[in-house]
Structure 1
Amino acid sequence: MGTVDVLCLGETMALFVPAEPGPPDEVVTWTRTVGGAESNVASHLAVLGLRSAWVSAVGDDAFGRAVVSTIASFGVDVSCVAVDPYRPTGLYVKESDASGSPVRYYRTGSAASGMSPVSLDALALDGVRVVHTSGITPALSDSCLDLMRTLFTGPRDVTLSFDLNWRPRLWADRDPSVLRELASAADVVFVGADEADLVWGIGEPAAIREFLPETHTLVVKLGAQGAVVFEGTAEPVYQPALEVDVVEPVGAGDAFAAGFLFGTLSDWSPRRRLRAGHLRAASSLLTHHDVGPSLPVSFVSAMLDASDDEWAAAHVTTDMT
């Protein structure tokens, strides 16, 4: 693996979405793509111009090759992705219906679930500025939990970024209390207020901050309302979200994290980092793809430094991509 700015670690799977309307048991034609939270962040960062790498494991199968080639196509370094000769690449299905796009996983025993602390041995972290992970990985298996604990508690000279990414189905037979342990050990944490309410029973940003006092930079996402960042002992900073013609919300959180991390590595102010997150999330909201076309550079540049009134009046539409 060459020198990278951000290393993202976590499972990515083959993803099937309906290619025709109707309930899933009647859909005949499906479109195969790929999806994974951490690789989404790596892909967005590469598009933004940073050197990013994605680390995981895939099966020695067609889906694994599709996953790796798709992520590499964004300019992400995939040289440290392991190929497991025994376990398959995981997959999941979006079963679109009138209630939205529920997801069904087929990932038990996947190649990525076989990751362990040994997986860290092949990584050269020299020069890496940020390692980004999420709360999905420790839910995959005991060995993945051991990997996360080793990464978060061992000596390090990198910034650890952690997105809660609550997936209740993955925690059905596991203890989610470890998520607080990991979040408390991270340097940058992203958490949705709705997620925190489900996992920890607290949904107010100030209460979440009290729950995670050790985290240096805590970003609480408030959905369409915006996001607030708590940093050290400084006063919290709130930034409203942009008005967006939403096509699909899936993947917007990963895009937001990438935008915020880009701003962090650019040494931007908290408000500008939040705006960078919102702008990147807006590009994802305009598409069915996890990583879609970017917003015009001129618009992004103008909005990063716009007045509060100009920001509030902005409207992001599908015509802009």
Structure 2
Amino acid sequence: MQNRLDVITIGEAMAMFVATETGDLADAEQFVKRVAGAELNVATGLARLGMKVCWVSRVGDDSFGRFVLNSLKKERIDAGCVTIDGRYATGFQLKSKADDGTDPIVEYFRKGSAASHLSPEDFNAAAFNQARHLHLSGVAAALSPTSYALLEHAAKVMKAQDKTISFDPNLRPVLWKSEAEMVEKLNRLAFQADWVLPGLKEGTILTGETTPEGIADFYLQRGVKAVVIKTGADGAWFKTASGEQGAVAAIKVENVVDTVGAGDGFAVGVISALLEGKTLPQAVARGNKIGSLAIQVLGDSEGLPTREELGE
């Protein structure tokens, strides 16, 4: 059946151990276990809003892999495109506790992980045919050349079927051989997308432009339909191919607990609203709202709301 799925996305999930006390990770003795991964955060947020979501990945045949699969089941995310790979381990990460609004320190143990071995062989045509929207991020693109090839193939197929595609650059410079390679390859994916969602600093790195409008025009001139730029404390700024543009103010948060996951929450808001037929200003406002909820709790996805909690 066509469009049985609302969204399909591709990425890596890791077990995440979050320190329960502030200070140097070397001194932390107690941790709380969570699931982490940019694309899985987006899948989780969309699923909580009632959308049918499929997540494509590989996990190891280990306890961390089972932990990830259990999380998918709990969130009602379709795991039919997840391969259990007995050759490689599921990655994990350690995250410091920061309660003053600063970014926590994250140490990754993901090199050679099962998900880094994603490739075009993991493309499940039946699943992609059933989805009406593809969400891609620069994290999965950075995992390996074969993972990048999978994203590129998925985008090509979905575009040929006139499905919509969103792209969040989610820059991870440490995973790339050079900044030049990162810029070239991520922009190649971005040009396939309908909606591009960079942060202001990310947009400057990727385009060489320093203003929201300059960044937006760079992508709009290459076929993208709408660009939404996260401008931090100011909120977000958008521009469409038809020339509609504007700023949407941020929602003030008094107590910032954990900044990680804010951009994924923003993506959840924008994507869900646009798929529901909302206007772009309404979608950006929802993005700001969910992003503000995400930073008020510990964990990458714990603050992502259900439809009832969203209150729309």
TM-score by length of 2: 0.89
* CA distance in structure 2 between the partners assigned to 1:181 and 1:279 by the alignment: 30
Describe the shift of the 1:103–1:202 C-alpha distance in structure 2 as closer, same or farther (beyond 3 A): farther
- The answer to whether 1:160 aligns with 2:170 is no
* CA distance in structure 2 between the partners assigned to 1:48 and 1:129 by the alignment: 16
Report the secondary structure of 1:76's partner residue: coil
Match of 1:286 among 290, 296, 299: 296
Partner of 1:26: 27
* CA distance in structure 1 between the partners assigned to 2:26 and 2:227 by the alignment: 42
Task: Assess if the C-alpha contact under 8 Å between 1:18 and 1:29 holds in 2.
Answer: yes
**Letter in structure 1 aligned against 2:241:** G
Partner of 2:71: 70
Report the secondary structure of 2:26's partner residue: coil
* CA distance in structure 2 between the partners assigned to 1:172 and 1:141 by the alignment: 11
Partner of 2:212: 205
Bigger drift between 201-210 and 261-270 goes to: 201-210
Describe the shift of the 1:64–1:263 C-alpha distance in structure 2 as closer, same or farther (beyond 3 A): same
Partner of 2:262: 252
Task: Assess if the C-alpha contact under 8 Å between 1:237 and 1:270 holds in 2.
Answer: no
**Letter in structure 1 aligned against 2:204:** D
- The answer to whether 1:113 aligns with 2:123 is no
1:298: how far off? 8.1
* CA distance in structure 2 between the partners assigned to 1:15 and 1:172 by the alignment: 25
- The answer to whether 1:230 aligns with 2:239 is yes
Cα deviation, 1:195-242, whole Å, max 9, x if unaligned, reads: 122344323111112221221121111112111222222221221111
Task: Assess if the C-alpha contact under 8 Å between 2:13 and 2:91 holds in 1.
Answer: yes
Partner of 1:191: 198
Partner of 1:57: 58
Task: Assess if the C-alpha contact under 8 Å between 1:80 and 1:122 holds in 2.
Answer: no
Report the secondary structure of 1:185's partner residue: coil
1:265: how far off? 1.0
* CA distance in structure 1 between the partners assigned to 2:308 and 2:210 by the alignment: 35
Identity level (%): 35
Cα deviation, 1:122-176, whole Å, max 9, x if unaligned, reads: 5522331111110111211111121122222343342111100011211245711
**Letter in structure 2 aligned against 1:158:** K
1:120: how far off? 0.6
Alignment of 1:86-101 (within 5 A): 86-96=87-97, 100-101=103-104
Describe the shift of the 1:49–1:298 C-alpha distance in structure 2 as closer, same or farther (beyond 3 A): closer
Alignment of 1:259-298 (within 5 A): 259-293=269-303, 294=305, 297=308
1:269: how far off? 1.1
Describe the shift of the 1:296–1:282 C-alpha distance in structure 2 as closer, same or farther (beyond 3 A): farther
Show structure 2 runs of 5+ residues with no match. Answer: none
Which structure would you say has the larger RCO, counting Cα contacts within 8 Å and 6 or more residues apart? 2
Partner of 1:143: 146
* CA distance in structure 2 between the partners assigned to 1:19 and 1:4 by the alignment: 37
Cα deviation, 1:37-74, whole Å, max 9, x if unaligned, reads: 11111111111111112111100000011012113212
Partner of 1:103: 106
* CA distance in structure 1 between the partners assigned to 2:265 and 2:189 by the alignment: 21
Report the secondary structure of 2:263's partner residue: helix
1:35: how far off? 0.3
